Amino acid sequence: MQSEQTVRFLKKGAIWAFIVLELVFFSVAGHFLSLSEGAFMDLDNMLLLLKQSAPIGIIALGMTVIMINGNIDLSVGAIFAFSAVILLDSMTWAVFAGLGDWVIPVSWGLALLTGTILGAINGLIVWKTGVDAFIVTLGAMLGYRGLVFMYNGEQPTSELNWTLVDFAEAQFLGLHTATWFLLGCTLVLWLLMTRTVHGRNAYAIGDNREAAVNAGIRVGPHMMKNFMLIGFLSALSAVVFYSESGSVNPNDGSLYELWAITAVVLGGTKLAGGSGSVISTLGGVIAIQLLRKGLGYIGSDTETVNLVIGLILIAVLYLDRQLNRKGKEELRI
Amino acid sequence: MTEGTPALRLSGIVKTFPGVRALDDVSFDVMPGEVHALLGENGAGKSTLMKVLAGIHQPNEGDIFIEEQKVVMRSPLDAKAKGVVLIHQELSLAEELSAAENIYLGELPTKSFGRVDWATLHEKSGAILERLKCSFGPRTIVGDLSIANMQMVEIARALTVDAKAVIFDEPTASLTDAEKVVLFDIIRDLKARGVGIVYISHRMDEIFTISDRISVLRDGSYRGTLMTAVTNEEEVTKLMIGRSLDLTRNVQPAEMGDVAIAVQGLSCGKMFQDISFEVRTGEVLGFYGLVGAGRTEIAETLFGLRTPSAGQILIDGEVVKINSPMDAIRMGISLVPESRKEQGLVLGMNCKDNMTLPQVGDLTAGPFVSDGAEIAIFDQYRDKLAIKTPGWREKVGNLSGGNQQKIVIGKWLSMRPRVLIVDEPTRGIDVGSKSEIHALIRDLAKQGYAVIVISSEMPEVLQVSDRIVAMFHGRLMRIFSSQEVTEDSLVQAISGLNTDRVA
Amino acid sequence: MATITRSTITNVLAKQGILIAFVLFIIGFGLANSRFLAVDNVLGVIRSSAILGVIALGVTFVVISGNLDLSVGSMMSFSTIVVLDLHDKLGPLMAIPAMFALTMCLGAFIGFLVGYLKLNSLIVTLGMLSAIHGLTLTWSGGKNMDIADKQGTWFGIFGRGDVLGIPVPILFFALLAIVLSILLARTPFGRKVYAVGGNGTAATFSGIPRARIVFLSYVISSFCVACAGLLQASRSLGSQNTVGQGLELEVLAAVILGGASLLGGAGTVFKTVIGVLILGFIQNGLLLVGLAFYVQYVVTWVIIILAVWLDIAAKRGRFLSPIA
């Protein structure tokens, strides 16, 4: 019993320990290699890091919920792009011409609604057909991407609203707007997963679906809500990111699903479901971004970051397996 | 005690599954404040009856009454709402959640915005855990609990409603003796509160300790009810096994040859310790014991699926190392595993492919699989074992349990092993196929195979074995010869009683 | 009687549904546009599907053995970049075997992790997707890779040449499909792949070396990826680092469309070829009737979900899932 608690504690703390390790390593290595001026742990540098973590981070938070629930969503990148297109395009719609800057909340609302609806479609299919979420969202990844292209051809969709840019580039208490969104989402989702019936049921369903069904939890609608949630968050991520950049290419957001899943797994969420935490996912997101920046800081090619992250992901999986092994007497199958 | 209004009553229940009549006109009742034990061998229909009681299965015919009101229980939740709660043998808990959350799973108390009302939850579940005299609080994460404490959480779930009847399915399977005492206190407490208890178990001693009445199922039908106070183990066993105490047992003296396989001081961690026995060619050695006694684990070790922590295995007098099933097969050991569907067959494959799977690498013409050679083997063993199938192309998943089992047996016989291990050869198989398989096992011994049969059914072990190994808690208690064995001594040996008679 | 007929129809639909859909689809587009079934158009479609197809053949082995391979896209980028780079350094004759060896080492590494260490294939290949991408960028220094003397090399024959009027990529695809089909359907190894994917535990209990079979399925997959990289490099004689990006999921879509189950144990090489051709012909057919290439994404989405849904519905005997 004692050792199980120790293992649990180790697992929860692992990602933060890893972040500290990264900080120490890059600071020391950077110092000795003295390739860059200024310390790695510079405040501005760290604030920028948080801001850059936001787009993937917000999606990864939603992916955590989906994966705790025992599902997966591969369509987040496409939802991200489609919501971005709606966000930017709707600002130019003639109907909203008289609104002035009030078009911003309207466009935001439309973009968020789009993401939520796309998520709901995934959820409904998973619920009603019984097709595995992996296949449903794999299909949707292609399908939604097709919709993005159909909307505006292969042309980028652009609309730069300076009020919006000012808002997106603003800093409040030193943190960028995007960072506030990331932290806000983390807090809300943490409350959702730890304090509400919906969140607790998500764990129960992911851990033991049959028991949850027997206990009378309506699994289908529950899963659909979670798909709507991740759709909403993908759209929110797009809103945060494109308010500043103002231009979306139809291929934007490709591979976001893979980055998000990587962050979630690094944060210790089990692929099989039932276990995980949004706070640890935030750690996973930061760890990846830190690695990206750090490798650049010590002068290695930025390309190396892919290699390192991939290998770290596999190493985490291996360690997790070793921790969970029952010992030598285990049946070898 | 049998007068008055039953808390729960079943009448004329019939439940059929495709190809099987699992329950045939079963009637059963439990009075408030009574412990009614339900006994029967594996496959007798206990678990089906229990699932009907708890609303997991709907009966095809028959009625269910709660306090003489006719009810339909559509789901376990519905059953619970009506006051019937099943405590599963297999734990169905979410391990990341706290004990309190598990106790109220699906019914968490809420505040505004869908928030969990922790105060109420912890208070109510804390009270239940206290009533159960649990050593842990409601906030404990279930994954950190021992198996026995997890079982307590499972039991606590039953106490969230004002239960009229509680069904315990083999509740002591994973409990220590001290924990059992606590469990029995809980049952007596429930009893005192006027709850009707259905208690399902294999263990005779427990049933005589706790129950008021004992009902027996055999082959899906009701065989009678005895008052615990005025009956004895002999009478119950007789009802359960369906024969008088001088059961048909193997009387053919085996023509034994040399020792084919011998095991000396074999141990595997906590699974089993210090096991020694030998099997001669032409002999059937039976292994009898309760579930979890370590019998299957021994078989898996002999078949190279587990690494022994001590001891040695000798084949033809030579010490061998068996590191994988490939090694075992090479040394002439075959295993017909316990679970046909999970371990024995690839259900999506056809009959022929399943039967030739271990030797498909040898049935080749050039680099290709030779259909002719495969079909020849399939035909040979289909005829030999009288397997009923439309043809070799038939998916094995479409066959009946008995025919599926024969495919698995055929698979291993066609490897021409020297030692054949058969784990639960007739589990979930109809009576006709059962006796065929028993005859087959005797026949194989006669042909010079060394056969090990593992079974939880006493008549089966008695019928096929020349000698019987009794196991208890990972230890070999005694080896009986078929002449000297009695049901009494066998039951005592596998219950860990009379340890002074250890051979 | 009526029920028997109905269940027979459902059964046929479930088993051959994708083939029937394919035929109907071809007939439909053939009627709508006479160019569609012209020989040069058909050859063009198959040719442009060949790279995807060759990878899909290998992934079929991985999927049937009960695993996933998300790394094939970035692995193909790797082999393309490597063979182009080595072409100028070692000459084509040495570059090709060297590239095959390196690519198959990657496959063997994945096979080791998934087969012998029993790590989850989704995460392992996700990690390898990223890692191999990094490897490719490191190898190329992030720059595009081009063959210096594009006119003076015979290296282009794999992607650009033709034999008796049939483009070499098609021959490559066809030949590989036949060889792998025989390997999967006719050899003991193929039988073991099905057994491991159908029920890994039962396979182990039957003395089948599960780890080795999984390992080999990844090696085969990487061999096919190397072939695809060769075709790609030879066709373009120059490449970006991201040439295979996103291919892994399209490949998986083709394999699933062909009827392989992600749970393992089901699927054939022939069906995968059909899945690949369906994707190719949809794309082509939509282009011919004047729709943009991206419309195929939406169509593919609908088809994949319908295909898998019908398959599940036939097995459970009802259309909607019983989940409350």
Quote the percentage of chain A above a pLDDT of 90: 41
pLDDT tens digits, one per residue of B189-244:
888 888 899 998 777 778 888 899 999 888 788 888 888 888 887 788 777 766 54
CA distance B49 to chain A (A): 17
Average pLDDT for C229-234: 94
* Res B245 pLDDT > 50: no
Q: pLDDT value at position B174?
A: 66
CB nearest A329 (choices: B101, B143, B268): B268
Residue of A136, A304, A321 lying closest to C305 (CB–CB): A136
pLDDT score, position A35? 60
Task: Please give, rounded to a whole number of angstroms, the shortest distance from the CA of B406 to a CA of chain C.
Answer: 15
A141: domain CATH number is 1.10.3470
User: d(Cα A57, Cα A282) in Å, to the nearest integer?
Assistant: 7
CA C78 to chain CA centroid, Å, is 17
A283: closest CA of chain B, how far (Å): 20
Residue A171: its H or E element: strand A171-172
Predicted confidence (pLDDT) per residue in B436-460, tens digit: 888 889 888 888 899 999 988 788 8
| Domain ranges (residues) in chain C | 58-147+154-244
What pLDDT shows up at residue C279? 87
Structure confidence at residue A82 (pLDDT): 95
Output the average pLDDT for chain B. Answer: 85
C119: amino acid identity, one letter: L
Structural tokens at position B36: 């009614």
Q: What is the pTM of this model?
A: 0.86
String of b and e for A178-207 (b: at least 16 CB within 10 Å)?
Answer: bbbbbeebbeebbebbebbbbbbbbbbbbb
Q: Which band of pLDDT confidence, cut at 50, 70 and 90, is reported for residue B250?
A: low
Q: Is C193 exposed, middle or buried (0-12, 13-18, 19+ CB in 10 A)?
A: buried
Report, as an integer, the average pLDDT of B250-271.
83
- The span from the CA of A255 to the CA of C153, in Å, is 35
Q: What is the pLDDT of residue A303?
A: 74
When CB atoms are compared, the residue of A4, A8, A274 closest to B94 is A274
Interface residue C132 vs chain A (CB under 8 A): yes
Residue B178 is predicted with a pLDDT of 73
User: CA nearest B423: which of B385, B462, B456, B381?
Assistant: B456
Can you give the pLDDT at residue A331? 76
Looking at per-residue pLDDT, the higher value among B261 and B456 belongs to B261
**pLDDT of C227 over the 60 cut:** yes
Does B144 sit within 8 Å of A212, measured CB to CB?
no
Which of A7, A208, A225, A269 has the most B C-beta neighbours within 10 Å, making it the best mutation to test the interface with B?
A208
pLDDT band at C221 (very low <50, low <70, confident <90, very high): very high
Residue with more model confidence, B124 or C20: B124
- Give B454→chain C minimum CA distance, Å: 17
Which helix (H) or strand (E) segment is A269 a member of? none
Q: For tokens 């295909």, what's the residue?
A: C307
Q: How many CA atoms lie within 13 A of A266 on its CB side?
A: 32
Domain count, chain A: 1
- The enclosing H or E element of A68 equals helix A43-68
User: For chains B and C, what is the number of CB pairs under 8 angstroms?
Assistant: 70
Provide the pLDDT for residue C226.
97
The reply to whether A172 falls in a domain is yes
**8 Å CB contact of C199 and B347:** yes
A321 at B interface, C-beta within 8 A: no
Q: Write the residue in A5, A8, A216 that is nearest to B77 by C-beta.
A: A216
- Lowest-pLDDT choice from B153-157, B199-203, C109-113, C233-237: B199-203
Cα–Cα dist B132/B120, whole Å? 19
Which pair of tokens denotes residue B221? 């039908």
pLDDT digits (tens, 9 = 90+) for C59-68: 999 999 999 9
Query: At residue C1, does pLDDT exceed 50?
Result: no
**Residue B266 near residue B471 (C-beta atoms within 8 A):** no
Tell me which chain C residues have a C-beta less than 8 angstroms from the C-beta of B332: none
CA distance C126 to A313: 9
Distance from C-alpha of A93 to C-alpha of C175, rounded to nearest angstrom? 54
In chain B, the percentage of residues whose pLDDT exceeds 70 is 92
Nearest residue, CB atoms, B97 vs list A4, A200, A216 = A200
Tens digit of pLDDT at every position of chain A (333 positions): 456 667 767 777 788 888 888 888 888 887 777 665 667 777 888 888 889 899 999 999 999 999 999 999 999 999 999 999 999 998 888 888 777 788 888 999 999 999 999 999 999 999 999 898 998 998 999 899 999 999 888 888 888 777 888 887 888 888 888 999 999 999 999 999 999 999 999 999 999 888 888 888 899 999 999 999 999 999 999 999 988 888 888 888 888 888 899 899 989 888 888 888 999 999 999 999 988 888 877 777 767 888 888 898 898 888 878 877 666 667 777
Q: Which domains does chain B have, with CATH numbers?
A: 8-241 (3.40.50.300), 244-332+420-503 (3.40.50.300), 339-416 (no CATH)
| The pLDDT value given to residue B431 | 62
Instruction: Name residue B390's amino acid.
Output: P
| Residues from chain B contacting residue C201 (CB–CB below 8 Å) | 342-343
Is residue B501 pLDDT above 60, yes or no?
Answer: no
Q: Mean pLDDT throughout B285-300?
A: 88
Mean pLDDT of B70-77: 84
Q: Which of residues 178-237 of A touch B (CB under 8 A)?
A: 195-198, 200-201, 203-204, 207-208, 210-212, 214-217
The residues in C 249-288 lying below 8 A from B, measured between CB atoms, are 265-266
CB-based contact (8 Å) between C11 and chain B? Answer: no
Angstrom distance (rounded) from CA B452 to CA B300: 12
Instruction: Say whether residue A56 is in contact with chain C using an 8 A CB cutoff.
Output: no
CA distance A50 to A172: 14
Q: Is A326 in CB contact (< 8 Å) with chain B? A: no
Interface of B with A (CB under 8 A): 56, 75-77, 92-97, 101, 105-108, 110, 113-116, 141, 143-146, 268-271, 300, 304-307, 309, 324
The distance of A304 to chain B (nearest Cα, Å) reads 36
* Most confident range, picked from B37-46, B404-413, C276-285: B404-413
Name the nearest CA neighbour of C206 among C216, C188, C192. Answer: C192
pLDDT of residue B316: 87
Q: Does B307 sit within 8 Å of A332, measured CB to CB?
A: yes
How do residues B385-433 score in pLDDT, each as one tens digit?
Answer: 888 888 888 889 888 778 898 999 999 999 989 999 999 888 767 666 7
Nearest residue of A to residue B146, measured between CA atoms? A1
Give C203 or A22, the one with higher predicted confidence.
C203
Buried b (16+ CB within 10 A) or exposed e, B136-168: bebebbbbbbbebbbbbbbbbbbbbeebbbbbb
For residue B266, is pLDDT > 90? yes
CB B8 within 8 A of CB B27: no
- Per-residue pLDDT for B1 more than 50? no
Contact C246 A255 (CB under 8 A): yes
Report DSSP letters for B65-128, one per residue. EETTEEE---SHHHHHHTTEEEE-SS----TTSBHHHHHTTT---B-GGGBB-HHHHHHHHHHH
pLDDT reported for residue A1: 43
Query: Mean pLDDT over residues C131-146, rounded?
Result: 90
Looking only at Cα atoms, what is the longest distance across chain B? 78
Our CA dihedral for A211, A213, A216, A220, rounded to 10 degrees, sits at: 150
pLDDT score at C12: 65
The CA distance from B60 to B417, in Å, is 45
Minimal Cα distance from C182: which residue of B?
A: B368
User: Which residues lie below 8 Å from residue B140, measured CB to CB, with a gap of 6+?
Assistant: B98, B99
Give the range of the structural domain holding residue A271, as residue numbers without chain letter.
55-318
C157, C145, C177, C146: which is closest to C49 by C-alpha?
A: C177
Residue B244: what pLDDT?
Answer: 46
Chain A: closest CA distance from residue C306 (Å): 9
CA separation, residue A183 to residues A59, A61, A176, A259, A266 (Å): 13, 10, 11, 19, 19
Chains that touch A (3 or more CB pairs under 8 A): B, C
B296, B423 contact by CB (below 8 A): yes
The count of CB pairs under 8 A between chains A and C is 172
